[in-house]
C-alpha cells in the first residue's frame, strides 16, 4: 500500500513539474540559465518545508515512513516535483558551453534558494501550526 501512496503523489508531482516547466519556458523563452528548474526546485523546497513545519512541527521522525500522508506528499509529490538530476544535467550543459557566470548563478541560487526557502517556509508553518 505504501508504494501506492508514493505513486499517487509522484504522478501528481511529476505532472505539475512538467506543466510548470512548460509555462516557464513559454514565458521566458531564452533565460540566461535554466530558470524553469530553478523555480520548480525552490517552490518544491518551500512546499516541503511548509509541509514538515505544519504537519510535524519539526523534521519528521523516522516513523513517518509508515505515514500515508508523508509517503504521498513528502516522498511522492515533492520527490517527483523537484529534481536534482535535471539540475545536474543543466549545470553540466552550462559548464560545457563555458557559461561560467550563468553556471555560478544557477548553482548558487539553486542551493541557497532551495535551502533558504525550505527553512523560511518550515519556520513559518511551525509558527502557524497548532
HEC per residue, the chain: CHHHHHHHHHHHHHHHHHHHHHHHHHHCCCCCCCHHHHHHHHHHHHHHHHHHHHHHCCCCCHHHHHCHHHHHHHHHHHHHHCCHHHHHHHHHHHHHCCCHHHHHHHHHHHHHHHHHHHHHHHHHHHHHCC
Look at residue 130 in the predicted model and tell me its pLDDT.
Answer: 61
Q: Which three cell numbers stand for residue 99?
A: 557559461
Q: How sure is the predictor about 40, in pLDDT bands with cuts at 50, 70 and 90?
A: very high
The pLDDT assigned to 32 comes to 87
Per-residue model confidence as pLDDT tens digits over 45-61: 999 999 999 999 888 88
Range of the domain at 18: 2-128
Domain count, the chain: 1
Reported as a single tens digit per residue, the pLDDT across 86-117 is: 899 999 999 999 999 999 999 999 999 999 99
Q: Which three cell numbers stand for residue 71?
A: 509517503
Does residue 63 have a known ligand-binding role? no
Say what the pTM is: 0.89
Q: Tell me how far apart the alpha carbons of residues 108 and 63 are, in angstroms, rounded to a whole number.
A: 33
> Does the annotation flag 79 for ligand binding?
yes
Per cent of the chain over pLDDT 70 is 99
What b/e string do you get for 69-86 counting C-beta neighbours within 10 Å, with b at 16 or more? ebbbbbbbbbbbbbbeeb
Q: pLDDT tens digits, residue range 4-39?
A: 999 999 999 999 999 999 999 999 988 888 999 999
Amino acid at each position: 500500500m505504501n508504494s501506492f501512496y508514493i505513486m499517487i503523489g509522484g504522478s501528481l508531482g511529476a505532472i505539475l513539474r512538467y506543466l510548470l516547466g512548460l509555462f516557464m519556458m513559454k514565458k521566458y523563452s531564452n533565460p540566461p540559465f535554466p530558470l524553469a528548474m530553478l523555480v520548480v526546485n525552490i517552490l518544491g523546497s518551500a512546499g516541503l518545508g511548509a509541509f514538515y513545519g505544519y504537519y510535524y512541527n519539526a523534521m519528521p521522525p523516522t516513523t513517518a515512513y509508515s505515514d500515508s500522508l508523508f509517503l504521498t506528499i513528502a516522498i511522492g509529490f515533492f520527490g517527483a516535483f523537484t529534481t536534482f538530476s535535471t539540475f545536474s544535467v543543466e549545470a553540466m550543459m552550462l559548464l560545457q558551453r563555458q557559461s561560467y557566470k550563468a553556471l555560478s548563478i544557477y548553482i548558487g541560487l539553486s542551493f541557497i534558494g532551495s535551502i533558504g526557502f525550505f527553512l523560511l517556509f518550515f519556520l513559518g508553518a511551525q509558527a502557524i501550526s497548532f
